Amino acid sequence: MAIYVYHALKDGKDLVKGKIEAGSAREARAGVIKLGFIPTNVYEENAGARKDTPKEGGGLIKAGKIKALGLGDRIDFTSTMQILAQSGIPIIESLMFIEQDAAKLKLRLVAKELRRQIMAGSTFADTVARYPEQFGQIYIGLVKAGEDSGELEKTLQRLLELQNKEAAIRSKVIGTLMYPAFVIILAILIVLVMLVFVFPVFKEMFDGMGKELPFVTKMLMDTGIFLKTYWFLIPLILGTLFGSVYFLFKWPVSKRKIDEISLKIPLLTDLVQYSNFANFVAVMQVAYDAGVPILECLYLANLTITNNTLKTKVEIATSKVQQGQHLSVALRTTGVMPKMILFMIATGEQSGRLGDMLLQATTFIDKKLDKIIDVMTKMIEPIMLIVIGSIVLTLALALYMPLFGSYIAE
């Protein structure tokens, strides 16, 4: 006989822990079920909790592969789990429902794999933790905190709100950038059509004038003739162009420089700061309310920051908090966090209502971000019109300058 430690669900939602004497893991799980609990993790006390799930006979249940989950997939999964948990349905039955009735195949496969491991003795948090690429460290950390505190249902609700907020912010930023991206693509197409189909038509007429062409006209004419002759190079050139831009934004060296420059451009600085700190403060608030220690809150929140410059400065602030400095004081030394947010955090620390003040800070950031995006949208439209107009004017002048020159000469 040996002593086994068990983690189980009481009434399908409350996490309970305890010890039971049994001859094997199978007998221990059977004993836990007799107590009226649903076992999620059972292991021998002397062996300790193991990363892989213990299996009958001394083997191990290995984590199977599951497909990558996008933000929308995680929202669907969390929403279903939260609704079922709120209705008092146990986790295993909730996963079984998703496995059988989810609209997307990948969600059915994920639910099947998670259910398999939980039924083998693992906890929901430990099972999710085996898939950091699919769920992310923030999701894993908050689920772990919720399960340890016995408030998994509330944590799922917080996670759902957090993911919906992330989706809303992403939608706002993408919506703001969509118009200039469309205009840039349209400008490229206009230039290509003019160079390939229009400029070569004027070549014979310009040659018959017997005069030297302006530099801009000659350059565009030669480019157009080259592209018309070697038309098959156009996709390669465009692919190289867009690939180079993508590489610059992904290569760590160039991305760090771009992130640094973006914080020096008026208005764009505000967009970068508030879009990054919107997720940062939201995760801080959710993690803090879930009972996660402040250092762990900072670690999870910093995972949401995409700007390398901001991330580095927050990491320095985190180390200062670890050394005993107040959160608001440490964040103030970064010099990049908006003063209103710092004031709210300082007020929350002094009054003992940090969670409430973080929630107020998220509301403030949302409103500020909406104003910034609205201003940027209004500014982008005339700027893009000027860009398109300048391109068209340059092409038109390149075509008509030789003609004007010939009329003047006559």
- Express as a percent the part of the chain with pLDDT over 70: 90
Across 123-141, average pLDDT? 83
pLDDT at 343: 92
- CATH number for 71-164: choose from 1.20.81.30, 1.20.1270.360, 3.30.390.30, 3.40.50.300: 1.20.81.30
298-353 tens-digit pLDDT? 888 888 888 889 989 988 988 888 888 888 899 898 888 888 999 999 999 888 88
88-122 tens-digit pLDDT? 888 888 888 988 888 888 888 888 888 888 887 77
DSSP 104: S
Is residue 229 within 8 A of residue 199, CB to CB? The reply is: no
Q: Is the pTM of this model over 0.75?
A: no
pLDDT at 278: 86
pLDDT at 182: 85
Distance, in Å, from the CA atom of 301 to the CA atom of 138, rounded to the nearest integer, reads 8
pLDDT at 173: 78
Distance, in Å, from the CA atom of 156 to the CA atom of 383, rounded to the nearest integer, reads 44
Consecutive H or E run containing 18: strand 14-22
The CA radius of gyration of the chain, in Å to the nearest whole number, is 30
Distance, in Å, from the CA atom of 216 to the CA atom of 401, rounded to the nearest integer, reads 10
Show the tokens assigned to 133: 């690429």
Consecutive H or E run containing 391: helix 354-409
Domain ranges, ordered by start, for the chain: 2-61, 71-164, 170-410
Is residue 47 within 8 A of residue 4, CB to CB? The reply is: no
147-205 tens-digit pLDDT? 776 777 888 888 888 888 888 878 887 887 788 888 888 888 888 888 888 888 877 77
pLDDT exceeds 80 at position 30: no
Please name the residues in contact with 87: beta carbons below 8 A apart, sequence gap of 6 or more.
none
Q: Tell me which CATH code domain 170-410 carries.
A: 1.20.81.30
Closest CA to 325 of 346, 352, 354: 346
Across 33-46, average pLDDT? 71
pLDDT class for 236, splitting at 50, 70, 90?
Answer: very high
Distance, in Å, from the CA atom of 203 to the CA atom of 218, rounded to the nearest integer, reads 10
Q: Among 13-17, 56-60, 119-123, 231-235, which is the least confidently predicted range?
A: 56-60
Query: Do 170-410 and 71-164 have the same topology in CATH?
Result: yes
Other beta carbons less than 10 A from residue 251's beta carbon: 12
